């Protein structure tokens, strides 16, 4: 039976680890704050007291961490995965981080005789619980095939999009599209309200045509109702748009709308609303429209 070390048992990582247990893997979890390890134990997994202990003897090491420095630290830091894992171990990083960091870590792993895939996901907490995530995988084709049982245990749409870093690049494109579409839907909602039209009346007819989008389907009603309980936090999307604009700059790709969206998401974060759902970008648009709106207080954000 394949053994998996799972590092990072947060909102996304914990249900993914649980799904691996259910799929029959021997899963040993590690998290900086140990409370979440207990929940994995309750589901039939094991806990480890240290990263080294978790990685020891694992066939596969999975990571699901917040940002580039966390992943760099866990994989390449003192006492990290590269220092602890046996040669031949397959690393699968589910985190959303900078493509250049991924490529660098992948090269370090290769020099140490390890294999690494970048495998960022989309689909949110519900997708993680349901095992229905979309996974964008970068790395060698052979490693992708070796990872197949693990990936199938946590995701539904699984695509090998290219070499190391390509998964992160496609995830960056994903966040570009999601962030920009939220901004556009926010503009449309405020535009309609400013003309005295209830968005609830207009959204269905908009959603049925070429203007339709998953954001319009899943988020517009909550946005129009000023319900911003996350979901996906604005602070994380702000981080992701920093990755997108930096990667675009590096490649010489012009992303004018995204650069502007990044400014707006940054504004949402700067005013202290990073804990709200990213749909709260509507707040920035309505502020710019002189339309202050009694919305949810900040205490409504998830704890």
> What residues are labeled active site?
171
Q: Out of 164, 224, 243, 284, name the contact with a second copy by CB under 8 A.
A: 284
Pseudo-torsion of CA 275, 277, 282, 285, nearest 10°? 40
According to the binding rule CB under 8 A, does residue 253 interact with a second copy? yes
According to the binding rule CB under 8 A, does residue 176 interact with a second copy? yes
The binding track of 127-166 with respect to a second copy, each residue x by CB under 8 A or -, is: -------xxx--------------------x-x-xx--xx
According to the binding rule CB under 8 A, does residue 111 interact with a second copy? no
Nearer to a second copy, 115 or 238 (CB): 238
The binding track of 56-95 with respect to a second copy, each residue x by CB under 8 A or -, is: ----------------------------------------
Q: In this structure, how many other beta carbons lie within 10 angstroms of the beta carbon of residue 69? A: 13
Interacting span for a second copy (CB under 8 A) from 4-12, 42-50, 69-77, 270-278? 270-278
Interacting span for a second copy (CB under 8 A) from 47-55, 71-79, 140-148, 174-182? 174-182
Q: How far apart are CA 137 and CA 224, in angstroms?
A: 35
210 by DSSP, 3-state: which? coil
Q: Which of 29, 34, 33, 2 is CA-nearest to residue 14?
A: 29
Q: Out of 148, 194, 225, 302, name the contact with a second copy by CB under 8 A.
A: 194
In the complex, minimum distance from the CB of residue 120 to a second copy, in angstroms, rounded to a whole number: 11
Q: Out of 66, 130, 248, 295, name the contact with a second copy by CB under 8 A.
A: 248
According to the binding rule CB under 8 A, does residue 208 interact with a second copy? yes
Q: How far apart are CA 249 and CA 165, in angstroms?
A: 16
Phi and psi of 5, rounded to 5°? -90, 130
Give yes or no for a contact between 63 and 10, defined as CB atoms under 8 angstroms apart. no
Q: Out of 53, 73, 191, 221, name the contact with a second copy by CB under 8 A.
A: 191
Partnered with residue 162 across adjacent β-strands are 138
Partnered with residue 30 across adjacent β-strands are 7
Q: How far apart are CA 219 and CA 12, in angstroms?
A: 20
């Amino acid at each position: 039976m394949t053994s998996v070390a799972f590092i990072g048992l947060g909102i996304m990582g914990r249900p993914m680890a649980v799904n691996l247990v259910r799929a029959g893997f021997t899963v040993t979890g590690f998290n900086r704050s140990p409370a979440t390890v207990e929940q994995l134990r309750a589901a039939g997994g094991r806990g480890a007291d240290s990263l080294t202990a978790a990685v020891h003897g694992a066939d596969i090491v999975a990571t699901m961490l917040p940002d580039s420095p966390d992943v760099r630290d866990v994989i390449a830091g003192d006492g990290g995965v590269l220092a602890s894992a046996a040669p031949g171990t397959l690393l699968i990083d589910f985190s959303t981080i900078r493509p250049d960091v991924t490529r660098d870590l992948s090269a370090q792993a290769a020099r140490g005789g390890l294999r690494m895939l970048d495998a960022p996901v989309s689909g949110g907490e519900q997708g993680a619980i349901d095992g229905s995530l979309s996974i964008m995988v970068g790395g060698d084709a052979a490693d992708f095939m070796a990872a197949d049982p693990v990936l199938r245990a946590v995701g539904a749409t699984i695509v090998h999009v290219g070499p190391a870093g390509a998964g992160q690049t496609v995830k960056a494109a994903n966040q570009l599209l999601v962030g920009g579409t939220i901004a556009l839907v926010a503009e449309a909602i405020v535009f309609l309200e400013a003309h005295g039209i209830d968005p609830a009346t207009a959204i269905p007819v908009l959603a049925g045509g070429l203007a339709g989008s998953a954001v319009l389907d899943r988020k517009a009603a909550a946005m129009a109702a000023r319900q911003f309980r996350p979901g996906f936090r604005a602070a994380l999307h702000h981080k992701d748009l920093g990755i997108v604009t930096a990667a675009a700059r590096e490649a010489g790709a012009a992303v004018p709308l995204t650069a502007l969206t990044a400014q707006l998401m940054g504004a949402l974060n700067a005013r202290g609303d990073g804990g709200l759902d990213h749909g709260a970008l509507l707040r920035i648009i309505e502020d710019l429209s002189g339309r202050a709106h009694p919305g949810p207080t900040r205490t409504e954000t998830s704890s």
